[in-house]
């Protein structure tokens, strides 16, 4: 019997046909992430890969695609419902509250790790994928928001990623958004028959998501829909303007996209996405995030604001390799030991250990090491 990996998953290998699945690139990218996080004062957090299901349903929202269609949920032996994390924001907030970190200075956290979504598997969309994300638990403040964007952009620039576009929008407070949704639904009711089948479902459950539908039939209807911006109050608009002026002063290019709504329910206020420019596929989002000022208290924590983002490491590395920004170097040992007799092998075996103690990378010939065989034939031909 031949075993295969689960659909929608992949192996990260020392070497392979697809450069983005090479472990050295993953390590380099992860190292850059750790370095830039330290520069911006973020501390790492690692949470379990599964949580009680309510952690995600409460935070993300029952009507989102993630909760209603994509979670890997199962019962443990005592019948408790557990879910493999589909994202890490909710788990980070759970841990921040549960461990009393809100009473400490740790308000800027980051994480790297696997997430799981039962998505239709295709390039850029996997059932096990990896996120790097950052969360800042500080009050609603355009300076904090601009710093988060600066952090994200610095990270991309440090990695050398070029073809990206930053999209931003403001979803307003829940009061502003509720007023908007009432009018949006009134407008959409008149066009309900012409909406795509997905959008008909969204009309009932999550009408805002119709705004970022990519279906041709929805695009025309959305074009004539009321605009969320006209429902934002003066204070919200001023704060957003301040945020935009801070981005201008940092020379960060952005595009305001009034149809950007994000797929998870916890956002309000400023939201953003970094997309691959020139790529119109559904998988063009490298990362995204925004403000979630009510989420921490909704999860039983203090009444504190929050903002964060996450991006998919697969999509990031695929973009880097497609832009040919990564150097794929296969490392070889500094010293290769080739015994010419059984007695020599005993001596070289000890030498091998001594060299490594002195931080010299070394390898002893072994029949099954491909690389050793290459070296052997090289040595023999000399
Ligand atoms: P999200 O937009 O659902 O946000 O996911 C963030 C990123 O994860 C996406 O932009 C994409 O790059 C990657 N991603 C999502 N699903 C998949 C998949 N099936 N395969 C490969 N990559 C995928 C969040 O998860 C929020 N927690 C972000 C956030 C943090 N908001 C505030 N703080």
Pocket-forming residues, ligand 1, beta carbon under 6 Å: 87, 89, 117, 119, 124-126, 129, 131, 133, 135, 263-264, 285-289, 308-312, 314-315
Indicate if the pLDDT at residue 213 is higher than 90: no
Average pLDDT (299-313) is 97
The residue whose CA has the least distance to atom 23 of ligand 1 is 312
Q: Which tens digits make up the pLDDT trace of 2-24?
A: 999 999 999 999 988 899 999 99
Looking from the CA of residue 274, the nearest atom of ligand 1 is: 10
With 80 as the cut, is the pLDDT of residue 40 above it?
yes
Taking residues 282-293, report their average pLDDT.
90
At residue 332, the pLDDT reads 81
Which position has the higher pLDDT, 201 or 129? 129
Q: Is the pLDDT of residue 370 over 80?
A: no
Q: Which atom of ligand 1 is nearest to the CA of 310?
A: 28
Query: 130: which residues sit within 8 A by CB, 6+ positions away?
Result: 112, 113, 114, 115, 312, 313, 314
- Of 236 and 370, the structure prediction assigns the larger pLDDT to 236
The model scores a pTM over 0.75: yes
Cα 196 to ligand 1 centre (Å): 24
What's the gap in Å between 285 CA and the centre of ligand 1?
8
Nearest partner of 56 among 113, 98, 7, 116, judged by Cα: 116
Q: What percent of the chain has pLDDT over 70?
A: 93
- Distance (angstroms) between ligand 1 centre and the Cα of 51 equals 18
C-alpha 311 – ligand 1 centre gap (Å): 5
pLDDT at residue 205 in the model: 86
Closest CA to 200 of 212, 188, 182: 188
pLDDT at 90: 98
Task: Give the model confidence (pLDDT) of 269-286 as tens digits.
Answer: 999 999 998 776 766 899
Q: Is the pLDDT at 217 greater than 50, yes or no?
A: yes
Give the N- to C-terminal CA distance of the chain in Å, as an integer: 44
Residue with CA closest to ligand 1 atom 21: 125
How far is 133 from 308, CA to CA, in rounded Å? 7
Task: Answer whether residue 165 shows pLDDT above 80.
Answer: yes
pLDDT, residue 212, reads 85
pLDDT-above-90 percentage for the chain: 79
The pLDDT value recorded for residue 330 is 58
Reply yes or no on whether the pLDDT at 376 is more than 70: no
Per DSSP, which regions of 22-154 are E strands? 43-44, 50-52, 72-75, 81-84, 108-116, 128-136
Model confidence band, residue 119 (pLDDT cutoffs 50, 70, 90):
confident
pLDDT at 372: 45
Query: Does pLDDT of 377 surpass 60?
Result: no
Joined together, the tokens standing for residue 294 give 């009510």
Q: How many CB atoms lie within 10 A of CB 192?
A: 12
More confident residue, 134 or 122: 134
Ligand 1 centroid, distance to 127 Cα (angstroms): 12
Distance of CA 63 from the midpoint of ligand 1 (Å): 17
């Amino acid at each position: 019997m031949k075993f295969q990996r689960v659909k929608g998953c992949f192996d990260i290998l020392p070497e392979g046909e697809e450069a983005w699945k090479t472990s050295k690139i993953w390590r380099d990218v992860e190292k850059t992430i750790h370095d830039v996080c330290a520069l911006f004062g973020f501390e790492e957090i690692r949470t379990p890969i599964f949580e009680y299901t309510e952690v995600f349903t409460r935070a993300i929202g029952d009507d989102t695609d993630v909760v209603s269609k994509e979670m890997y949920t199962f019962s443990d032996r005592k019948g408790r419902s557990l879910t493999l994390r589909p994202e890490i924001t909710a788990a980070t907030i759970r841990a921040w509250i549960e461990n009393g970190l809100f009473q400490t200075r740790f308000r800027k956290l980051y994480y790297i790790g696997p997430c799981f979504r039962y998505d239709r598997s295709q390039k850029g969309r996997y059932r096990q994928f990896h996120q790097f994300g950052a969360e800042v638990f500080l009050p609603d403040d355009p300076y904090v928001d601009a710093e988060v964007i600066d952090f994200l952009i610095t990270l991309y620039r440090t990695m050398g990623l070029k073809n990206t576009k930053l999209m931003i929008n403001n979803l307003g407070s829940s009061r502003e958004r509720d007023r908007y949704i009432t009018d949006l639904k009134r407008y959409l009711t008149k066009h309900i028959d012409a909406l795509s089948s997905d959008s008909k479902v969204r009309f009932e459950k999550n009408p805002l998501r119709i705004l970022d539908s990519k279906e041709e039939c929805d695009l025309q209807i959305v074009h004539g829909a009321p605009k969320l911006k006209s429902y934002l109050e003066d204070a919200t608009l001023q704060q957003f303007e301040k945020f935009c002026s801070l981005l201008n002063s940092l020379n960060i290019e952005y595009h305001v996209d009034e149809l950007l709504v994000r797929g998870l329910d916890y956002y309000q206020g400023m939201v953003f996405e970094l997309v691959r420019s020139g790529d119109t596929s559904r998988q063009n989002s490298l990362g995204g995030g925004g403000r979630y000022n009510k989420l921490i208290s909704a999860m039983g924590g203090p009444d504190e604001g929050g903002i964060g983002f996450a991006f998919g490491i697969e999509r990031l590395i695929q973009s880097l390799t497609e832009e040919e920004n990564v150097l794929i170097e296969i490392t070889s040992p500094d010293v290769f030991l080739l015994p010419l007799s059984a007695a020599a092998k005993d001596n070289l075996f000890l030498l091998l250990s001594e060299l490594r103690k002195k931080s010299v990378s070394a390898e002893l010939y072994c029949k099954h090491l491909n690389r050793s065989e290459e070296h052997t034939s090289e040595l023999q031909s000399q």
